[in-house]
């Protein structure tokens, strides 16, 4: 896709957010209501195919543009970027690791948003420690039979399919060598979406527990057609997820900063707008500086990913810094708004509740720090 078209799609999403998302986001979020109409509009905008290659029916945008799109959505309502994120992580896994037949079967329908995907990695007892998952997939004729349970699965209720990590060899050493990924389409044979989790923020979007009780999955849906490749497949896709989460943090932080700088010029205390008080100016300067640094880190990680270079270090740094910056900026925005910031009359309380997810999702920030340190030690080995 060329630069002009990329600009056009970013502008179209910006207009969609200003006109259709911002006016309704807080209401929907407080009601924890799934945004069907907004998701339908995202489908029309082509966002479900944003990073799916054009040859498979997607927009084929680069990760720099993708990050900008996710930032724009999150400026309006971060949950909307969540609807797209794990769908496109699944599409990334199929694009880069699927067989030709799997690409042809899944990607065009995913790009149109007819098939809507998610990623089922986490289990009740295992999040960061992916290798200790217990879901197993046993070969039975033309099928694999999946049993186990997954936790915190985004898009599980409203999506139609999931990329599921399961052990095809539960005794493999090292454990990761026993993990495979499956494209599982929901059917009356399962899996069962057993409950939606109630959350602090990031509401509206479905985050669910999913049970696999001897669910048959065609062997043709083993991603890439060979067992034991799942860990590698999913790890490469998590770089995309980290760029997405970092971009979401920039979008939420941008919205929080804009609320604060607007309010600071309207609110008068001690005879002058509060933006004339130095304590408020220091906060605004700090917020804007962190925001700019976060945005540049995201752009840098996306640029490396677009160049086909390894970017675990950059994506990890972007995700770590941007999410911590977002948490601080949204809290500072609340300080600037004073008592009103604590009420639901302004969206700042929503930004503050949404911010922590970015510190936890796609690998906690403690895990990001480990990934960063591991890579630094490789690069600086003596």
Ligand X SMILES: Cc1cc2nc3c(=O)[nH]c(=O)nc-3n(C[C@H](O)[C@H](O)[C@H](O)COP(=O)(O)OP(=O)(O)OC[C@H]3O[C@@H](n4cnc5c(N)ncnc54)[C@H](O)[C@@H]3O)c2cc1C
Q: Does residue 361 interact with ligand X by CB under 6 A?
A: yes
Give the count of residues interacting with ligand X (CB under 6 A): 23
Q: Which of 51, 95, 122, 264 binds ligand X (CB under 6 A)?
A: 122
Name the residue nearer to ligand X (CB basis): 102 or 135.
Answer: 135
Q: Which of 338, 366, 374, 377 binds ligand X (CB under 6 A)?
A: 366
Name the residue nearer to ligand X (CB basis): 173 or 198.
Answer: 198
Q: Which of 46, 98, 127, 316 binds ligand X (CB under 6 A)?
A: 127
* Residues paired with 381 in a beta bridge: none
3-state secondary structure of 300: helix
Span interacting with ligand X, options 48-56, 113-121, 183-191, 302-310, rule CB under 6 A: 113-121
Q: Does residue 152 interact with ligand X by CB under 6 A?
A: yes
Smallest distance, Å, CB 346 to ligand X? 23
112: left (phi over 0), alpha (psi -120 to 50) or beta: alpha
Q: Does residue 261 interact with ligand X by CB under 6 A?
A: no
Q: Does residue 207 interact with ligand X by CB under 6 A?
A: yes
Report CA-CA distances (Å) from 107 to 19, 91, 100, 113, 191: 30, 7, 10, 10, 21
Both tokens of 382, joined, read 């003596």
The site string for ligand X over 311-340 (x = CB under 6 A, - otherwise) reads ------------------------------
Q: What DSSP element (H or E) covers 217?
A: strand 207-218
Q: Is 362 a catalytic residue?
A: yes
Q: Which of 192, 300, 367, 375 binds ligand X (CB under 6 A)?
A: 367
Residue 1 to residue 4: CA distance in whole angstroms:
9
Q: Does residue 128 interact with ligand X by CB under 6 A?
A: yes
Indicate which residue of 72, 209, 227, 362 is catalytic. 362
Q: Does residue 347 interact with ligand X by CB under 6 A?
A: no
DSSP string, 220-266: GGBTTSSTT-HHHHHHHHHHHHHHHHHHHHHHHHHHHHHHHHHHHHH
Instruction: Provide the CA 37 distance to its chain's centre, in angstroms.
Output: 20
Residue spans of beta strands (DSSP E) within 225-320: 268-269, 272-273
Both tokens of 248, joined, read 């979401």
Polymer length in residues for the chain? 382
Span interacting with ligand X, options 26-34, 72-80, 120-128, 339-347, rule CB under 6 A: 120-128
Q: Would you call 87 exposed, middle or buried from its count of C-beta atoms within 10 A (0-12, 13-18, 19+)?
A: buried
* Residues paired with 183 in a beta bridge: 163
Q: Does residue 182 interact with ligand X by CB under 6 A?
A: no
As annotated, the active-site residues are 362
- Interacting residue ranges for ligand X, rule: CB under 6 A: 86, 118-122, 127-129, 152-154, 199, 202, 207, 357, 360-361, 363-364, 366-367, 370
């Amino acid at each position: 896709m060329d630069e002009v078209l990329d600009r056009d799609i970013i502008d179209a999403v910006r207009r969609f957010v200003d006109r259709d998302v911002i006016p309704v986001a807080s209401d929907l979020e407080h009601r924890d209501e799934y945004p069907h109409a907004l998701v339908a509009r995202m489908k029309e905008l082509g966002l479900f195919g944003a990073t799916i290659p054009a040859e498979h029916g997607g927009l084929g945008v680069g990760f720099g543009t993708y990050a900008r799109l996710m930032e724009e959505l999150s400026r309006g309502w971060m949950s909307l970027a969540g609807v797209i994120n794990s769908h496109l992580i699944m599409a990334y896994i199929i694009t880069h690791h699927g067989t030709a037949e799997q690409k042809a079967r899944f990607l065009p329908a995913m790009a149109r948003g007819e098939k809507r995907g998610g990623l089922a990695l986490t289990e009740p007892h295992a999040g960061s420690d992916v290798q200790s998952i217990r879901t197993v997939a046993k070969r039975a004729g033309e099928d694999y039979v999946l049993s186990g349970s997954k936790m915190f699965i985004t898009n599980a209720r409203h999506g139609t399919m999931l990329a599921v990590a399961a052990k095809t060899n539960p005794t493999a050493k090292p454990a990761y060598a026993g993990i495979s990924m499956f494209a599982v389409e929901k059917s009356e044979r399962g899996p069962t979406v057993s409950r939606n989790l109630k959350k602090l923020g990031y509401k509206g979007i479905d985050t669910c527990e999913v049970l696999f009780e001897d669910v048959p999955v065609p062997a043709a849906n083993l991603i890439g057609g060979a067992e034991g490749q799942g860990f590698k497949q999913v790890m490469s896709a998590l770089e995309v997820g980290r760029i997405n989460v970092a971009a979401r943090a920039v979008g939420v932080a941008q919205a929080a900063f804009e609320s604060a700088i607007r309010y600071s010029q309207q609110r008068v205390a001690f005879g002058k707008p509060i933006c004339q008080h130095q304590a408020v100016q220091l906060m605004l300067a700090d917020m804007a500086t962190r925001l700019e640094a976060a945005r540049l880190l995201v752009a840098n990680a996306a640029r490396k990913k677009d160049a086909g270079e390894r970017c675990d270090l950059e994506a990890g740094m972007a995700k770590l810094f941007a999410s911590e910056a977002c948490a601080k900026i949204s809290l500072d925005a609340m300080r600037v708004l004073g008592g009103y910031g604590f009420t639901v009359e302004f969206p700042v309380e929503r930004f503050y509740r949404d911010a922590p997810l970015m510190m936890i999702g796609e690998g906690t920030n403690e895990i990001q720090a480990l990934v960063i340190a591991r890579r630094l030690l490789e690069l600086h080995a003596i």
